Amino acid sequence: MKKKKLTTRYRFSIVEDTTHKVRFQFKASRLSAILGAIIATLLILGILMTIIAYTPLKRLIPGYPSPETRRVAIQNAAKIEKMEKQLIIWSVQMENIQRIYRGEKPMDIDSLLRDSTIFHKVSISDITSREDSLLKEQFLKQEEFDISSIRSAKIEQIEGLLFFPPIKGVITEGYNPAIGHPFVDVAAPNNSSVFAVLDGTIISAGWSDETGYTIQIQHSNDLVSTYKHNNKLLKKTGDKVTAGTPIALVGDTGTLSTGPHLHFELWHKGEPVDPTVYINF
């Protein structure tokens, strides 16, 4: 009986009052009306959810973060990511310092940094929207070119830096700028390895009639180290090196050389520095 009521068809008509002429009519059962109401309700809810999800109306929902709150949250997340990456770099550098102290070969920091998997744990996984990703990238670029933050992070002095000895030998002539000798000469066996004293980039590697095979490294903190009279160069201009990397072999090249030795110079901010203050030859 109930099934019959649901399937019983009804006629809905719109009739003109004066002429009784039918202007509009349709037939439907109770079941059709119920299904139509359900479909219409779902359609209206879908439209409302779409409007709320993809328009600024979503910000009217209680508890939804405001644009400023979201911006601050993204900036904080980016700062945390940057700090965690820096901690990883510092841990690698600390390991290198310990290796240098033990006389072991340091790790190649540049190759480690090029390995993206080292940072896989510090990605911001909760930032998924394109808008948030762009905001994060913009913030990181601002941080990268923020001069004040770079200056605050930069070590201006060289005290406290751990220098790798360029070679182990005997100083035959010490640092004495008063007599025109703002560098040191260190005697060592021919073809002994010459090492980079700090991480840096080779800015000059070539031949000079007076100094023979010469190599120069630009380090951070406005430091430059120079190695002269080498028998052979192991690196070329533009190469990046880490502290303790072999860069040349001791020799007796150049007209100013009087025997196998390393002529070593250390410059800070364009001024010569006594290497023996910081390096144990």
Res 55 pLDDT > 80: no
**What's phi and psi for 21, nearest 5 deg?**
-85, 130
Give the domains, in start order, of the chain with CATH numbers: 2-60 (no CATH), 67-153 (no CATH), 170-277 (2.70.70.10)
Q: Taking the CB of residue 221, how many other CB atoms lie within 10 A of it?
A: 13
Give the residue from 277, 272, 269 showing the smallest Cα distance to 156. 269
> What are 28's strand-pairing partners?
10
Read off the pLDDT band of 202 (50, 70, 90): very high
Q: Which pLDDT score is estimated for 96? A: 67
Q: Give me the sign of the Cα torsion angle 53, 56, 62, 64.
A: positive
Q: Which pLDDT score is estimated for 118? A: 53
Q: Which pLDDT score is estimated for 132? A: 57
Read off the pLDDT band of 59 (50, 70, 90): low
CB 225 within 8 A of CB 166: yes
| Cα dihedral 117→118→121→124 (10° resolution) | -80
Q: Which pLDDT score is estimated for 126? A: 45
More confident residue, 2 or 66: 66
Element (H, E) at 11: strand 9-15
More confident residue, 180 or 71: 180
